[in-house]
Structure formats: structure tokens, C-alpha cells
Copies of this chain bind each other. A is one copy, B any other.
Amino acid sequence: MPSFSRIDHVMQSVRERIAARTYPPGTRLPSVRAQAKSAGVSVSTIVEAYGRLAAEGLIEARPGSGFYVTAPLAPLSLSALEPALDRDIDPLWISRQSLEASADMLMPGCGWLPSDWMYDQGVRRGLRKAARSPNEDLTDYGSPLGLEPLRQLLARRLVQSEIDAAPHQIMLTDSGTQAIDLICRFFLEPGDTVLVDDPCYFNFHALLRAHRAKVASVPYTHQGPDLHAFEVALQEHKPRLYITNSGIHNPTGARLSATTAHSVLAMAQRADLYIIEDDIFGDLETRPATRLAALDGLSRVVQIGSFSKTLSASLRCGYIAAQSPWIESLVDLRTATSFSSNRLASHILYSALSDSGYRKHLERVRYRLSKAMDQTMVQLEQLGLTPWLRPREGMFLWAALPEEHDALSLARACLPHGVVLAPGPVLSQAPDAARFLRFNVAQCNDKRIFKVLKRALDKELSV
């Protein structure tokens, strides 16, 4: 029988190598014989140590081939944010399910409009126009800041929200997510704390984990972040950044009130906190909420946006509006990490945004959303769910389940029946998160969704 302390020693050394990523996931461990030799212990000690590590799930035996590291990379495992969440339902769960879904899946939990709600006509026109454009536009790299006419157009749009950004203060990105990622690269050191709303867009958690940032959260109210909790969080966690939606908050559909906006900004100034205002749902607003970037004059607020939610998610084009010296550094960072702006997509987007059709398209989408909101509300209330708020715009409805239900079990039960839900714990870390689900009312226009949901609520579906 090999010595326990030797077994422990070998196990500890392998664990350390996995943690230090000397053995990254998928690595084949040294053979039992080689390991025994290099550690100066018996083969049976290694057999026992490997066996126990396999039982822990850190490595796995592949018959005839050896032992392989199964553990995900420690700092960059984006899965399993909280011990309570399994790999199936982690911050990327909804993305993974929704992005991989086959065409026959029903996706009330996904974060975008059905493709026939989007502005395909504008994209088609843009494509035909691009097919006739000069060679450079089709084959050359884009400029560092991105297509100038598009930046001018974005600057004019921002002025309408009282955000005074010159075209050279706007940098095009490949997506809203890439915009946030670049700003995090600019502002954050590993270990910095970032403040988010609770609940919030799940991908903020995944993205911040990729930056090795700590996350603190503040409960979101019907008017914006809870101001008292915000103040406490500033003192307690000294966060460097706050990421929020001012227009239509994801997932609650709430909007920032003018009073709250002013207070948040005053506190940010005192605590030297920078703010990313994610305006990705802005075009769905019927009566625009106050923008932090407008109050602040782009001094400590950076606004980002894209057209993935209203025009096309296939084009990949977003933007950052910020003060000039920051834009300069952000351009360098983008050049270093993804080289150039997306020239072709920018041309197609510019074409789609600059014809009068986009405005009409938005009016139609807002009208459809408002009708879908009413209908979904009725359906959910019939099943005993209670909206946390009756949003007057946007696609999201944050709804509480009847007391005894758990959103994670419900999501698991519905998935095999072709329904992808967005369970609360993916979007919130509050104690009662598992009572909530996020619904996208534009994706709820199929009665099968509510039939499956009803059966799950009636515990007729096995998990």
C-alpha cells in the first residue's frame, strides 16, 4: 500500500500544475511510469494519485491512451460562475443555447428579435450597392476609426440624445460586445472591481471574468440602480467601472429616471468611477430616457452601441463614443487586437441607416413590440407569473414565477421540449433570482411556448 503522504504530494503537485496551466485542459498527463520516475515514487503511488484526481473530476482516464486534464482553465473558465450553477446553466448558457439552436427551437429566452422583424430590406439594398462599389471598399482594410460618413451619421444621431460627440470621438467596432471589451482592456487591471446592475445582461459577467475583474452588483429598481446600495457599493468595493443600460434595461425593461441619472453621476464623480453606458436597445425606445453620457458630456461616461438588435446582427458593427484621448488609446488597442475596422459592414450599415426606411422600420418594430408585450403579459399572468414591471417599450419582460417554482429546473425541463428559457440565476445573483425568468416578447408569438411552460409548471415534464 503506497504511503498516503506521497499520494497527497503527487496529487498536490498535479493540482498545482493544472492551476498554473502547465497542464492546460486536454493535456495528456505524463504516463504513470514516467511520473513515478520523475517524482521518485512507486508506480502504485501514481496509480492511486491519478485515480483519486480522476474521482475528483480534475483528470480523466481515456482507455488505452492515458490520463487527460478535464478541468477548465482556472481564470478563464467562463462557465460555472457560481458553485450553484452547473456547466449547463452558466452565464453563457443562454447565448450557447440560442446561438446553437436549430430553426425549430422556440426561444422566448433569447435576447434578439426574430429575423423577420429585422431590417433585411435595408441590408439587401446595402449589399447590392456594395457589389457596385470601388475595389478599395471591397478588399482593403478599414481606417483606424472606421468609415467617416458612418461616424458622421452616428454623431448626428447622438446629438439627438443631447450627446455632443464629434465624429473623431467615435470609433467603430465589430460589435457592442467588442466595444465593451476594448473599454475594459483600457480601464481594467486584473483584480479591479466592476459594478453591474442586478439583474443585468448575463454576458457582462462572462466578459468581466475574461478580464479577471471582480464584480459587485447593485439592485436595479424601476428608476435605475438603487441609490443607497450604489453609494454603499462605491465605498465598500471601490469599483473602477460601472456598466449599465440607461434606455431599456436588460432584463427588466425599466428605464433610468432623470433624478437617478443625476445622482448616479454625482456619486461617480465623487468616487472617480467610470461608466460604460450600453445603449444597444436605444432605438427601441418610444420616449428616450435620460442618458448619462448627455449629462456628463462624455467626461467619465463612455457610450457604446450597435445595430444588432434593430437592423442586423449579421453585419457586426458597433461603436464607442468617448473623449478624444481615450479614443486614441482605444484605436491602438483595437489595432493591436483585431487590426482594422469592418469596412464592408460599415458601408452596408451606412447605406441601411441613411435611407428613410430605417426610421419607418423602427416605428413598425416598436408597434409590434408594444402589441407583443401586451399579449405576452396576458399569457404569463394566466400561468400565474407576475411581471416585475410593465415595461412600456423594448422586448424584455422580467417575470416572477409562483412561489414554489424554480427557474433553473423549469429551464432544464423545457429545453428538451424545444423551448429555450432565460432563468433568473443567469441574469441575477440576488437570493430570489431563481423565482424570475426573462421573456423576450418578440419571441413569444407561438402558443407552444406557453403550453410547454404550463406543463413544466404543472410538473408534468420530467427533468
Q: Which residues of A contact B (CB under 8 A)?
A: 21-22, 24-26, 72-73, 75-79, 91-92, 95-96, 98-100, 103, 112, 115-116, 118-120, 123-124, 127-128, 130-132, 134-144, 174-178, 181, 185-187, 189-190, 203, 206-207, 209-210, 240, 272, 274, 308, 311-316, 323-326, 329, 332-333, 335-340, 342-345, 348
Q: Are B73 and A329 closer than 8 Å at their CB atoms?
A: yes
Interchain Cβ contacts under 8 Å between A and B, 21 examples = A73-B329, A77-B329, A92-B335, A96-B144, A119-B139, A127-B127, A127-B130, A127-B131, A131-B131, A137-B314, A138-B312, A139-B311, A141-B314, A174-B338, A177-B336, A177-B337, A181-B337, A190-B190, A203-B335, A203-B339, A344-B348
Which B residues lie within 8 Å of A21 (CB)?
187, 189, 240
- Given A112-B141, A119-B139: 9 more A-B contacts, CB < 8 Å: A92-B335, A120-B138, A128-B131, A174-B316, A203-B335, A203-B336, A206-B335, A315-B344, A316-B340
> Given the complex of chains A and B, what is the CA–CA distance between A365 and B21 in angstroms?
43
> Given the complex of chains A and B, what is the CA–CA distance between A22 and B203 in angstroms?
26
Which B residues lie within 8 Å of A116 (CB)?
135
Most buried by B among A119, A324, A329, A339: A339
Which listed residue (B26, B120, B324) contacts A139, Cβ 8 A? B120
- 7 closest A-B pairs (Cβ-Cβ)? A26-B325, A118-B139, A206-B336, A127-B131, A314-B343, A177-B339, A139-B312
Shortest Cβ distance from A181 into B: residue: B337
Which B residues lie within 8 Å of A174 (CB)?
174, 316, 338, 342
Most buried by B among A75, A137, A176, A337: A337
Q: Are A323 and B177 closer than 8 Å at their CB atoms?
A: no
Which B residues lie within 8 Å of A185 (CB)?
76, 210
Chain B nearest CB from A168 CB (Å) reads 12
Shortest Cβ distance from A312 into B: residue: B139
Q: Are B177 and A96 closer than 8 Å at their CB atoms?
A: no
Known: A131-B131, A135-B120, A345-B316. A178 touches B338 (CB 8 A): yes
> Given the complex of chains A and B, what is the CA–CA distance between A207 and B141 in angstroms?
18
Which B residues lie within 8 Å of A274 (CB)?
24
> Given the complex of chains A and B, what is the CA–CA distance between A124 and B79 in angstroms?
40
Q: Are B333 and A78 closer than 8 Å at their CB atoms?
A: yes
Most buried by B among A103, A176, A308: A308
> Given the complex of chains A and B, what is the CA–CA distance between A419 and B364 in angstroms?
51
Which listed residue (B131, B206, B240, B336) contacts A78, Cβ 8 A? B336
> Given the complex of chains A and B, what is the CA–CA distance between A342 and B142 in angstroms?
16
Known: A72-B329, A139-B115, A344-B314. A336 touches B209 (CB 8 A): yes
> Given the complex of chains A and B, what is the CA–CA distance between A91 and B339 in angstroms?
12
Which listed residue (B99, B141, B338, B344) contacts A335, Cβ 8 A? B99
Known: A177-B338, A340-B99. A24 touches B187 (CB 8 A): yes
> Given the complex of chains A and B, what is the CA–CA distance between A136 and B315 in angstroms?
12
Shortest Cβ distance from A338 into B: residue: B178
Q: Are A314 and B140 closer than 8 Å at their CB atoms?
A: yes
Which listed residue (B99, B308, B325, B345) contacts A143, Cβ 8 A? B99
Which B residues lie within 8 Å of A140 (CB)?
112, 115, 118, 313-314
> Given the complex of chains A and B, what is the CA–CA distance between A53 and B14 in angstroms?
50
Most buried by B among A91, A132, A313: A313
Q: Are B99 and A25 closer than 8 Å at their CB atoms?
A: no
Shortest Cβ distance from A98 into B: residue: B141
Which listed residue (B72, B79, B324, B337) contacts A207, Cβ 8 A? B337
Chain B nearest CB from A371 CB (Å) reads 21
> Given the complex of chains A and B, what is the CA–CA distance between A131 and B22 in angstroms?
48
Known: A25-B326, A338-B178. A115 touches B95 (CB 8 A): no
> Given the complex of chains A and B, what is the CA–CA distance between A340 and B137 in angstroms?
23
Q: Are B25 and A325 closer than 8 Å at their CB atoms?
A: yes
Known: A140-B314, A177-B338, A336-B207. A76 touches B186 (CB 8 A): yes
Which B residues lie within 8 Å of A339 (CB)?
95, 175-178, 203, 308
Shortest Cβ distance from A177 into B: residue: B339
Which listed residue (B99, B315, B332) contacts A144, Cβ 8 A? B99
